[in-house]
Amino acid sequence: MAFDPVYYAGSASFFPGDTPFGFYDNDPQFQQDAESMANSCALSLGYPVVDIELSPLNFFAAFEAATTEYGNQVNSYAARDNIINLLGFNTGSQDLNQRYIEPSLRGIFRLAKQYGTEVGAGGVLTWFTGSITLQPYKQVYNLKTDAVIETGSFLTDDFTIRKIFHEAPPSITQYLDPYGGSGIGTQQFLGEFGWGGMSVGMNFMMLPLNYDVLRVQAIEFNDEIRKSGYSFQLTNNRLRIFPIPQESFRLWFNYTLNDEFMPGGVGGDSGTGKISDHSNIPYGRMVYKYINEIGKQWIRKYTLALCKEMLANVRGKYQTIPVPDADTTLNYADLLSAAQDEKRDLIEQLTELLDQMSRQAQLERKQAESDMLSQQLAKVPTKIYTG
């Protein structure tokens, strides 16, 4: 097979449409740098001492790919740092590329709501109310058949019981001060605390509050040890009441529907318009002219590595070329190995840099600086004041 390669001619002129995707073709800064990049890569590969079997389009494609790779790496780390604050926002609200996102506790609060749901302090679920009419001397009840609920159906819906209002009467309703009516400067003090309607109408002697607290505890221990404890046992849908009811009354409870754990959009079509994970955070392509010199230098090095890889692939297809009275062996293996090593090293360097610049790493650095500063200040002699 005849080997008729295309050689680099020594100069390159860039026009919109010269890159495979055209991501940055209309950026004047990209156009200018693309021409310079082609010449720089050709010189680095040995031109004009040796022929370079690449066309300007190959250099432009490598330059576009390197710029895109840099943007993807940076945006991936930005998405990692900001995703906790972005979940739930509209995907099409704006392009977050190269934009500062104000840190906030919004994501932390949303996570905390899950704990609030379980303990009944706020949360994301609606607590509904239901009741069961207890019958005299009947201790065991089935929630699915005996309960009257606010919404849903226990026969068809999955639910979770959150609270059952089966508690002993407050101890204060049984409060009777043994010092009442002693005549030693007594007054009716319970009325001052809004308890007047919960005890007998008589006089009470003023004593320290810890006396009252100890007496209330004694009443509660008495009820717990000497009387039937007010409690219940809930197993699946089976509710057992303690003590056995002696009369008919309504027992109230709170419950949540398990379907509310899964928002309405879950399980439907994708593209619901809300940020759900890394895949739909609205990070677009970087604007090349806004990339600083640190980023552009990385792009130049990665472009050269890609050009080496392309040149190695071209030369690897034709390992030798005929010359007068001999054959010349091309150095594709060396180029390919060097290109792969350079690409890997550049990715690792950029990854390490982005790790060091993450929000977590910055906080750790500030903490370390604060600790070191405190240690230095501790060694500063303290002035002795003499009056």
Q: Is 257 found in the same domain as 128?
A: yes
Structure-block tokens of residue 145: 């058949």
Domain identity same for 151 and 240: yes
pLDDT at 261: 65
Instruction: Flag whether 206 is in a domain.
Output: yes
Q: Are residues 131 and 231 in the same domain?
A: yes
Is 50 found in the same domain as 142?
no
Q: What is the dihedral of CA 359, 364, 368, 370, to 10 degrees?
A: 60
10: in domain: no
Query: Has residue 326 been placed in a domain?
Result: yes
Asked which of 261, 292, 310 is the last residue of a domain, the reply is: 261
Could you tell me the mean pLDDT of each successive run of 10 residues in the chain, 387 residues long? 71 94 96 96 93 94 97 93 84 80 80 77 84 94 92 85 84 54 44 55 69 82 75 91 91 88 49 78 92 96 96 80 56 88 96 91 90 89 74
What pLDDT score does 29 carry? 96
Q: Please give the pLDDT value at position 182.
A: 43
- Decide if 50 contacts 16 (C-beta within 8 A): no
The reply to whether 269 falls in a domain is no
Same domain assignment for residues 93 and 127 = no
SS3 136: coil
In this structure, is residue 18 part of a structural domain? no
Residues 131 and 249 occupy one common structural domain: yes
pLDDT at 243: 87
User: Domain range holding 181?
Assistant: 114-261
Q: Is residue 268 part of a domain?
A: no
Question: Rounded to two decimals, what is the model's pTM?
Answer: 0.65
- As beta bridge partners, residue 187 has 204
Residue-level pLDDT at 267: 42
256 and 118 housed in the same domain: yes
| Domain assignment present for 386 | no
- On whether both 286 and 329 belong to a single domain, the answer is yes
Same domain? 128 vs 242: yes
Asked if residue 252 and residue 123 are part of one domain, the reply reads yes
Among 198, 227, 261, the domain boundary falls at 261
Same domain, 225 and 287: no
What pLDDT score does 184 carry? 38
With respect to residue 4, please indicate whether it lies within any of the assigned structural domains.
no
Residue 281 tokens read as 């955070």
Extract the runs of DSSP E, i.e. beta strands, from 47-199.
128-134, 140-142, 147-149, 159-164
The number of distinct structural domains making up the chain is 2
CA distance 97 to 283: 5
Cβ count near 56 (within 10 Å): 20
pLDDT of residue 193: 55
294 and 246 both lie in a single domain: no
pLDDT of residue 181: 47
Q: From CA 35, how far away is CA 31, in angstroms rounded?
A: 7
What pLDDT, on the 0 to 100 scale, is given for residue 287?
94
